[in-house]
Structure 1
Amino acid sequence: MGTIAAADYKRTTMAVLAYEGVRPFQLSVPCEIFGEVHCEGVDPELWVCALKPGLLRTSSGFSVGTTHSLADVPRADVVFIPSWRLPYQPPPPELIDALIEAHTNGATIVGLCLGAFILAETGLLDGKRATTHWAFSQEFRQRFPAVELDEMLLYVDEGELLTSAGVAAGIDCCLHIARRLYGAHQANRIARNVLAPPYRAGGQAQFIERPLGKNLRDARFRSALDEIVRNLGRKHSIDTLASSLAMSRRSFTRHFHQIMGVSFGEWLINERLLKARRDLEATNESVDQIALDAGFGNTKTFREQFLVRLGVSPAQWRRSFRGA
């Protein structure tokens, strides 16, 4: 992490931005991970820095006050931007200036959830990878086309710039930072104290359900897809489905992509993985049986697709939701 690597240990200063309308959970994540003494040897100095003077009203209605201000941000080693206000408003110029100055001084800047938007506003993310809450990915791409966004990821580490997905992924990102600063052993001790999974890789996919679209104009088309979802264990092909709808393969393929935004093959794999995920979470069926019920030809293919698309194995997914 640049100037704050564990090998060059000094007492790390961490600034957490507070602003009018901040969400208490987002604000508290870096404060809980780094503002409490969870274990010996992890003792950063944490400042909650108010964007403007005076009490700041949170999105939950209560107010917070702090003795630190935006002027302290450029002096910090790590700066956290805990999400941002909705509906989205561009940040004030003085905040952008403070973040750029902090980065110039060698600080690591962390955009948690919608904080990625603020980090992107600085221009520092141009040409780099980032993530944010999946529900705001389209808006992010429209605003910041120069940033390589991957909304499927839990967090993205670009050295001195980090971004995380929504809400709970901020915990994963903070534990990742703790791991970089203090080592895996200490980060795991922090995780145990806060009862969080000790390690979820940044490449693990956000837990996103992508249900069948609700705006399908053709009732027969929707009915056909509903039938497939109810019988994922069977074999399904474009030709068979197109024929049942009295459409040519070409017309069906074009129509499907226009409505669903993905190819039929991509949609079918996503639906099969969605069923498999639900079965892993809610049943005691073996991985082999779950693969069969979801329509995968064999367990090897199922495991490969699961790992490539979700970033973890089926067993790891089950443990994440149900424990060891």
Structure 2
Amino acid sequence: MTTVALAITDGMLHLELSLAIEVFGADLTHIVDPWYDFALCGPSAVQVGRFRVDPDHGLDYLRRADTVIVPGWADVDQDPPVELVDAVRAAHEAGARVASLCTGAFVLAAAGLLDGRRATTHWAHTDELSRRHPQVTVDPDILYVDNGSVLTSAGKAAAMDLCLHLVRLDHGSAIANTIARRLVVPPHREGGQAQFVTTPVPAPGNHPLADLFPWVLQRLDRALTVEDLARQAGMSSRHLARHFKSVTGTTPLQWLLTQRIRHAQELLETSDDTVDTIATSTGMGTATTLRRHFARTVGVPPDAYRRTFRPRTRPALPASANSRSLPPRTTGAR
């Protein structure tokens, strides 16, 4: 997936447009080389908020791209431009992976790409998407949906989650983590085979567990208990569980298990350690335990994951590539 084309027309939402440009259009060859070949594609100069944007190519260029990204636009009460819909449909028929950000899902739906599929968009517009396209299964409660060659995201910050998800699919979790650190956002934790993510990206440092998370992530090789976490956080186990539910949407033990699995993914990608060694490094104890939890969470066993996400020749990673992510929070608009 080397060529990414961003489809633009008048009235596009500038935040989603900017996020896609920042992830795919920046020169990140110092992190991984080659990076994406990026192109802005539109019928002519377009108006995005107060700015005029000159595309690199016309919409017919979308058919030459490996990945086509369709940002949202403000006026969802109007049908999307026919020329944009036709170009996106033609790109998908030519083999492109097509992803929408926020209300860009209306373009994909108009092109028939969401028929019989699950999809999402900004929560404020999910009812309208369902009404206009009843053949689409619209889920208002998820962050994004990955249907393989067709992906949709919810609104605003969820666009970043989907962009990082695409990077993860193409380059692996360690590279996605590095990009996320560069952008000063946590990488999206639910990767691998997981299609549906139910919680948005966290805002670091604005919740009672902000200091606890880094402490835990530095000690994943240890046999931590809920009592250990509660003691470090300076609260009772009951209060800890309540805060975890509010901030992460899950329990302390489930969150801890997820962090161990994500760390195992990074080690499988970036090291030659055996599964036994990785089981010890992630606090899973034995290879049997790691394999059981890994397969249940990611959908494939560790050895198969390594073969998929660790090609024979990988670029050298900076030290920050081995950083671990913070958990998502469950509040705030998507």
Q: Does 1:205 align with 2:205?
A: no
1:33 aligns to what? 23
Measure, in 1, the Cα distance between the counterparts of 2:140 and 2:189.
16
Q: Equivalent residue for 2:109? A: 120
Q: Are 1:288 and 2:219 matched, yes or no?
A: no
Unmatched segments (≥5 aa) in structure 1: 5-11, 209-276
- CA distance 1:104–1:207, shift in 2 (3 Å): closer
Q: Equivalent residues in 2 for 1:239-254 (5 A)? A: none
What TM-score does the superposition give when structure 1 sets the normalisation length? 0.62
Query: Displacement of 1:203 after TM fit?
Result: 3.3
Counterpart CA distance in 2 for 1:287 and 1:89 is 51
TM-score by length of 2: 0.61
Q: 1:289: how far off?
A: 1.8
Q: Which residue of 2 aligns with 1:170?
A: 159
Summarize the alignment of residues 1-324 of structure 1 with structure 2, pairs less than 5 Å apart: 4=1, 12-38=2-28, 39-50=31-42, 52-53=43-44, 55-59=45-49, 61-201=50-190, 203-206=196-199, 285-286=235-236, 288-289=238-239, 291=241, 306-307=249-250, 313=255, 319-320=327-328
- Measured in 2, the distance between the counterparts of 1:67 and 1:318 equals 37
Alpha-carbon displacement from aligned partner over 1:242-301 (angstroms, at most 9, x marks no partner): xxxxxxxxxxxxxxxxxxxxxxxxxxxxxxxxxxx9876899745522557x9xxxx9xx
| Contact preservation (8 Å) 2:76, 2:103 | no
Shift of 1:313: 4.1
Matched letter for residue 196 of structure 2: G
**TM-aligned CA deviation for residue 27 of structure 1:** 0.7
* 1:205-252 deviation per Cα after TM superposition (whole angstroms, max 9, x unaligned): 2559xxxxxxxxxxxxxxxxxxxxxxxxxxxxxxxxxxxxxxxxxxxx
Contact in 2 for aligned 1:22/1:84 (Cα 8 Å): yes
Please state how far the C-alpha of 1:192 moved relative to its aligned partner.
Answer: 1.3
Larger radius of gyration: 1
Distance across 2 between alignment mates of 1:318 and 1:177: 19
Question: What code does the residue aligned with 1:288 have?
Answer: R
The total of aligned residue pairs comes to 229
Secondary structure (helix, strand or coil) at the match of 1:110 reads strand
* One-letter amino acid matched to 2:73: W
Q: Name the Cα RMSD after superposition.
A: 3.2
Q: 1:291 to 1:187 in 2, by over 3 A?
A: closer
What are structure 2's unaligned runs of at least 5 residues? 212-232, 260-324, 330-334
Q: Residues of 1 paired with 2:60 and 2:80: CA distance? A: 16
Measure, in 1, the Cα distance between the counterparts of 2:136 and 2:93.
Answer: 20
Contact 1:279 1:290 in 2 (8 A): no
